[in-house]
Structure 1
């Protein structure tokens, strides 16, 4: 099925993984570095809510980049949205010590209730913001951190990261605090722009290119916007 925005639907195998990564108890497969390390989803929960007063969503790195932010072409109803995250465990042993291999695997903005009927790769509003590597497209970063945020307030929402970056050249041993709200013991970071009544929430990303996915319901409406960087670690 093709939709009016001309985004191509992804294949059944990829779609199944995108569903499974947000399903507690699902077995995703095995770790690509160890065929004997099964990967299971152990938790799926809402971590925070963010306000999108413009309905224009940016999914990109919050750190300074030498390019415009990657705003999605899709427009959402202006309101507050929950962001849900998924955690996996892939237990392993290293130098005689056991580890649970717990990591945040994926995150998604919950737009509408109900199941996803089809998954698509989300397009950017401006082709100049696309980051491509081979057949992959999405946003590029080398920090393993992305973010959901309102496009109209993106400059203000990313200012704490910009200031932290600019103050980075400090003498050894000098701690630099980042002016963000820590969520779940710092696993996520939230920034609020009081003037624009908008928010930003950091999410996991992949070093290199992180694909952004749109899940649509049976009526073709956006049900969710997701990133799932951990899936690249599956065999």
Structure 2
């Protein structure tokens, strides 16, 4: 039987894309319309505190299961979250436009070159999924994910639960979400002062969004990356 640790590592093509999505320049072609896709911005969005070193990567919205905590633990500390934006021209009703969207985000653990990439297992994941070639990650139907400290997950996601409950009780009524808007609301940040911990949301893919770990040559974690846009490349 194939070893799960070997199955976790991704091939050279996927590895190259995970590097390229954070490199300015041509990324590839859009799979549907074969239009060129360019990385036009790579910048730090915010920094978040992970005092427990336990990282949750999941949707912050209410769900019928616990949040997805990664099996890999990080040194407790404060980490920057970097995002990549791409542009791809498209046509609508005979006019040309430059579409722009967030292509990927990564938690920067060490600013060292990535030597190998692997899918990130959750604490409750079965390694047999890696052997079967199944893509693993977190599931959402809201197109939103988040990085957060796992120990404070319940408190950090409370604004999303309250918003959801109010919307259910009073449909059609507009409510403000009790979060800090980052980059005009493209990202949202929640701070839990008692736990000295933070949560930062990011755009995700509906369905399963894969989570990747990039390791240095010494095997230490350099980055935890989510790159939903890569599934749209030819």
Which range, TM-score by smaller chain?
Answer: over 0.9
Verify: 1:127 aligned to 2:110, yes or no: no
Q: Does the 8 Å contact 1:106/1:230 carry over to 2?
A: yes
Q: Does the 8 Å contact 1:215/1:222 carry over to 2?
A: yes
More helix by share: 2
* Pairing 1:45-56 to 2, within 5 Å after superposition: 45-56=43-54
Which residue in 2 is equivalent to 1:157?
156
Distance 1:171 1:199 in 2: 29
* Pairing 1:49-64 to 2, within 5 Å after superposition: 49-64=47-62
Q: Deviations over 1:14-59 (max 9, x none)?
A: 000000001112x221111101x10110000000000000000000
Which residue in 1 is equivalent to 2:11?
11
* CA-CA distance at 1:173 after TM superposition: 4.9
Give aligned pairs, total: 230
Verify: 1:44 aligned to 2:23, yes or no: no
Which residue in 1 is equivalent to 2:192?
193
* CA-CA distance at 1:165 after TM superposition: 0.6
SS at match of 1:168: helix
Distance 2:151 2:38 in 1: 38
SS at match of 2:136: strand
Unaligned 5+ segments in structure 2 are none
What's the TM-score once normalised by structure 1's chain length? 0.92
Q: Does the 8 Å contact 1:7/1:122 carry over to 2?
A: no
Which residue in 2 is equivalent to 1:21?
21
State the Cα RMSD in Å. Answer: 2.2
Q: Deviations over 1:59-89 (max 9, x none)?
A: 0000011011100011101010000000000
Instruction: Indicate which of 67, 91, 96 corresponds to 1:93.
Output: 91
Which residue in 1 is equivalent to 2:32?
33
* Pairing 1:70-219 to 2, within 5 Å after superposition: 70-127=68-125, 135-169=134-168, 171=170, 173-219=172-218
Unaligned 5+ segments in structure 1 are none
SS at match of 2:162: helix
